[in-house]
Amino acid sequence: MNIINLDHISYKPLLPEVKEAMIEAINSDLHNPSSQHKAGEKSAELLAQARENVAALVNAADAREIVFTSGGTESVNHAVKGAAWANREKGNHIVTTNIEHNSVIRSVKRLTSQGFKVTSLSVNESGRVDPKEVADAITDKTILVSVMHSNNETGTIQPIEEIGAITREKKVLFHCDAVDSVGVVPMDVNALNVDLLSFASNPFYGPTGAGGLYVRRGTRIFPLLDGGVQEHNKRGGTENLIGIIGMAKAAQMAAANMDERRAHLEDLKQYLADELPKHLDDYIINTNLEHSLPNLLNISLKYIEGESVMLMLDEENVAVSTKSACATGSLRASHVLLSLGLSHADAQGTLVLAWGVDNTRADIDKLLSALSGVVKTLRSMSPLYKK
């Protein structure tokens, strides 16, 4: 069965070259990189090489600024909690936004129970944070600003460079959750003026269970995982070398093919945006088309609910993701969509369409023809649809 994957935000298939690199690593029975004998040293070399490759993807000046983690969630938890704990004597105030991923929101919430205060900024109707509001929110107690690079539901990209200039001037640490951006769009930690940058391997076709945190040299941060002196004393625990090798291969390929991939992804985005009105009416585009990822579009289909749409598309072998309240474990409307000013009813009909390098225009055609039928069926049974 040929399933069209337009749910690349949930999972991206590993590239064949990444699989090969990982299988080779498994078959090599790599020893612990901390061991001082020959077998350990070989692993340490591979680890150092992987660190160079990953550092290059975010343009880190020094590979030692990369801390390997178990993925985006750990990176974010480490950045937010680790920076807050390490700088507690300087202040207790954190500035963030209402549209962050739950890994930021809940980390910050956890910190409030330890005496930290939080200012959470709204986004404007185009889904972006106003850098001036960030500047105004910073007080002499502020120790950390955390703003995401691109939103995982809408794909909208935030003005990180402008915010970085402000935090640099005000001498406040700046963490950027760039999990859905790194490896997809060019990333330069120095141009952005970030001190901490979280990323994960799967968004650029590496394995899940591997991620990284960029920590600018001199940044005060505590480990999240206390233990050995691995990762330059920033993360205890023997490294997940097989995952790290897979991530490094994926990073190398993402850097080498970035322009070509982006052009293809942008083409599909433009094609989808152009074709949508020919197949559907009464929908809202929640993505800021000017400032957003090339591989994602978030739409709300009015009068119907997203899980129903997702299930019916699944019957047609088209995989998508929804952010309707019904489909989430917590049964709450997405905080991101509500922050954009969507009503609960409109938020219910939200689909996240995310494509990858393996998708084609024909896949978009298949999606649209299936979607127009599904929407017609569901609207015909909706008490809200009066046409």
Closer to another protein at the Cβ: 27 or 330? Answer: 330
What is the CA angle 166-167-170, rounded to 5?
Answer: 85
Closer to another protein at the Cβ: 25 or 347? Answer: 347
Give the shortest CB-343-to-another protein separation in angstroms.
9
Q: Which residue has 């393996």 as its token pair?
A: 358
Taking CB under 8 A as the criterion, the residue among 49, 311, 317, 369 binding another protein is: 311
The pattern of x and - marking residues 317 through 356 that bind another protein according to CB under 8 A reads: -------xxxx-xxxxx----------xx-xx--------
The span from the CA of 357 to the CA of 262, in Å, is 9
CA gyration radius, the chain: 21
Of 287-306, binders to another protein (CB under 8 A) are 303-305
Closer to another protein at the Cβ: 87 or 308? Answer: 308
| Total of chain residues touching another protein, rule CB under 8 A | 28
Of 97-156, binders to another protein (CB under 8 A) are 106, 109
Taking CB under 8 A as the criterion, the residue among 307, 316, 358, 365 binding another protein is: 307
Instruction: Out of 3, 285, 326, 384, pick the active-site residue.
Output: 326
Interstrand relation of 196-200 and 4-5 (parallel, antiparallel or unpaired) = unpaired
Active site residue 326: yes
Closer to another protein at the Cβ: 7 or 363? Answer: 7
Q: Are 145 and 174 in contact (CB under 8 A)?
A: yes
104 three-class SS? helix
The span from the CA of 104 to the CA of 96, in Å, is 9
Token representation of residue 254? 């993402």
Closest CA to 101 of 175, 177, 166: 177
| DSSP run (H or E) holding 62 | none
Closer to another protein at the Cβ: 301 or 364? Answer: 301
Q: Does the footprint of another protein cover residue 382 (CB under 8 A)? A: yes
Give the shortest CB-330-to-another protein separation in angstroms.
4
Q: Are 143 and 92 in contact (CB under 8 A)?
A: yes
Q: Are 305 and 195 in contact (CB under 8 A)?
A: no
Give the shortest CB-349-to-another protein separation in angstroms.
9
Closer to another protein at the Cβ: 290 or 315? Answer: 315
Q: Does the footprint of another protein cover residue 381 (CB under 8 A)? A: yes
Distances (CA, A) of 194 to 4, 106, 149, 177: 37, 21, 11, 10
Q: Does the footprint of another protein cover residue 376 (CB under 8 A)? A: no
The span from the CA of 70 to the CA of 44, in Å, is 18
Give the shortest CB-342-to-another protein separation in angstroms.
11
Query: Using CB under 8 A as the criterion, which residues of the chain lie in contact with another protein when the complex forms?
Result: 106, 109, 303-305, 307-308, 311-312, 315, 324-327, 329-333, 344-345, 347-348, 380-384
- Catalytic site positions: 326
